Amino acid sequence: MKPPSIHFRHLFFVTLLTGLITAAQAAPPNDAREVNPIEVGASIPAVSLTRADGSKVTLHDLTDESPAILIFYRGGWCPYCNRHLAALREIESDLRELGYRIHAISPDRPEAVARTVAKSEGEFNYTLYSDASAAVAKAFGLAFKVDAETYEKLMGYGIDLEAASGQEHHLLPVPAVYIVDTAGRVRFRYFDPNYKERLSAEALLNAAKAAQ
């Protein structure tokens, strides 16, 4: 039997290397500081979200008719996230006048999202979505895996990530804000691995105006 040709061996190793790189990219990092979010100018991924009532919607459905502001937050259990969502009320009407719609995304399962909406008591008109599998957060490069120590610490505070998402992946998104046009292109992004730091309402409004 003849040994494999040089071309065949080269093709095999290239294919193997490509597979390893793809697998590495698909695995979320174990540190929020190591995420690699998609950049300005990139097209948003073709992924789906779940509404509080359990129905599905694609990300492209949300951006086809009007430019969108996508808010990635950790969950309804996070006080920093809740304060950030509440702060958006100050500029929601201004953003709507500019043509934008706000869509907030977390790994909370639909039932948990519904509870957050109920607690808001009509304080905002934007929609909250469930990304329980973290597929959207992973597609945006925002997902990271919570380490065992942090997971136990959260449990000590009464925060059960598995109960919140209905999943065992222990994944959270780095809080982020994206502005996306109707062509599905990213026009602005903000993210900070320090979950205590959030984009101010004023800065978001200015970014939305500049992105038009």
Q: Which pLDDT band, with edges at 50, 70 and 90, does 126 fall under?
A: confident
| pLDDT value of residue 16 | 40
Q: Which pLDDT band, with edges at 50, 70 and 90, does 3 fall under?
A: low
| Residue 1: pLDDT over 70 | no
Contact 181, 41 (CB under 8 A): no
| Number of compact structural domains in the chain | 1
| Residue 12: pLDDT over 60 | no
| pLDDT value of residue 91 | 96
| pLDDT value of residue 119 | 83
Helices (H), 31-88: 59-63, 79-87
**Mean pLDDT of the residues in the chain:** 89
List, as own/partner pairs, every contact residues 56-61 make where C-beta atoms lie below 8 angstroms and the sequence separation is at least 24, other chains included. 57/129, 59/136, 60/184
77 within a domain of the structure (yes/no): yes
Amino acid at 67: P
| pLDDT value of residue 180 | 98
> 82 versus 4: which is more confidently predicted?
82
Tokens found for residue 210: 């500049």
| Residue 95: pLDDT over 90 | yes
Structural domain that includes position 82: 6-210
Within 13 Å and on the Cβ side, how many CA atoms surround 119?
12
| pLDDT value of residue 105 | 98
Q: For 49-64, give the DSSP string.
A: EE-TTS-EEEHHHHHS
| pLDDT value of residue 19 | 42
Kindly report, residue by residue over 153-207, the tens digit of the pLDDT.
999 999 999 999 999 999 999 999 999 999 999 999 999 999 999 999 999 999 9
Nearest to 104 by CA among 122, 81, 123, 133: 81
Residue corresponding to tokens 């109707």: 182
| Residue 25: pLDDT over 50 | no
Tokens found for residue 149: 């120590």
1 within a domain of the structure (yes/no): no
Q: What count of other Cβ atoms lies within 10 Å of the Cβ of residue 12?
A: 11
| pLDDT value of residue 118 | 87
61 within a domain of the structure (yes/no): yes
**CATH at residue 16:** 3.40.30.10
| pLDDT value of residue 207 | 98
Residues 6 or more apart from 119 whose CB is under 8 A from it? 76
154 within a domain of the structure (yes/no): yes
44 within a domain of the structure (yes/no): yes
